[in-house]
A = this chain, B = another copy of it.
Amino acid sequence: MIDTPRLVDQYCHGVLRTELGLGTFESHLAPAGAPAAAAGTTFFDTQTGFAVRRWCPPLLGLEPHCPPARYLARRRELGVLETGRRLLRASGITTYLVDTGPPGDLTGPAELAATGEAAAHEIVRLEPLAQQVADTSGTVDAFLANLADAVHGAAAGAVAFSSAAGVRGGLAAVPEPPGPGEVRGAAGRWLARRPAGGPVDDPVLLRHLLWVAVGAGRPLQLHVGDRDPGSLAGFAAATGGLGTDLVLLHSYPHHRQAARLAAHFPHVHADLGPVVARTGARAAAVLAEFLELAPFGKLLFSSGARALPELHVVAAGVFRGALSRVLGEWVGDGAWSRTDAQRVARMIAEGNAKRVYRLA
């Protein structure tokens, strides 16, 4: 009914290039940072696991819901490259925005694009960029100058910036940009105590980094995690009218607050992806909650997928099914017109992302 032939995946990572055993595969079904499944349980017994078993086996010539071991055997038989090709090309994702920041031996944007026969663009994560600059700058002055250069230079080639540490790093407490003296002091102390390769963990520096990025004019994606995005209202107010869009990532279970911020601030947008992808059979219900207060021009599909092309495929399939079901019901009830529903579906699937990221 509701048709979304092309998806822009506005936030994802690359995939692994190595063959995977059952245990390694299972570990990538877990939420980020989870140490292991409990004894007597498996991460296959989750909505993510069940969704992978629903959507992926048929793309490799197997029955849906076949046992994990059978799926993994078939995956190895085809090889990681051919598996990736079959899965990604069936996803309907025509553009990937790829966060290349987190470490891991994953395919970059170009390789993901080639595998998936799609376009791909880079999202530059701010914290690793700052760490690289720190590694190669001898003084505080050089570090701060090089940092500004690096961010503005990255803006030329990247489609967006992302920040994982910014939200936890005290952004909620003080939304305004720190003053030059404060930044110099914080940079000096951080550089002095920092072990080689150490992370940016100073709250003043993190705020400075975000404000440098705001000045570079690219959309800024903020990992909200399971924090209440209401705590970002101050930062949203402070950055309004500057011409830089904010995109809130991963706000579940506070996604209604993310939608509310998107309604209140013209430059704030809400990402749908990993939430919808991780909740499988429940995706329509979660998606519908986003659609309560958020203006329809402010919601963006993404997969949030990482390491397994199965996760890109599942996100796309689950999202499409959920969107079609939710909007289709509203059309059936007479609450929405079919024309509006189709228009909104394409906005969320690709149009909003094309506008926000100025994609061709």
Residues of A within 8 A of B (CB): 30-31, 33-43, 45-47, 50-51, 53-54, 64-65, 226, 230, 240, 252-254, 256-257, 260, 263-267, 278-282, 285-286, 288-289, 291-298, 330, 333-337, 339-340, 344, 347, 355
Contacts of A267 in B (CB 8 A): 38
Contacts of A347 in B (CB 8 A): 45
Question: A32's closest neighbor in chain B, by CB?
Answer: B264
Question: CA of A279 to CA of B33 in the docked complex: distance in angstroms?
Answer: 33
A246 to chain B, nearest CB (A): 11
Can you tell how many copies of this chain the complex includes? 3
Contacts of A280 in B (CB 8 A): 335
Contacts of A39 in B (CB 8 A): 266
Neighbour of A293 across the interface among B40, B50, B278, CB < 8 A: B278
Contact A37 B266 (CB under 8 A): yes
Contact A355 B40 (CB under 8 A): yes
Query: Lowest 3 CB-CB distances: which A-B pairs, in order?
Result: A41-B297, A253-B256, A65-B337
Contact B37 A296 (CB under 8 A): no
A245 to chain B, nearest CB (A): 8
Neighbour of A330 across the interface among B254, B281, B294, CB < 8 A: B281
Question: CA of A39 to CA of B31 in the docked complex: distance in angstroms?
Answer: 35
With A54-B334, A335-B51 as contacts: A34 and B293 at CB distance below 8 Å:
no
A153 to chain B, nearest CB (A): 27
A318 to chain B, nearest CB (A): 9
Contacts of A296 in B (CB 8 A): 41, 45-46
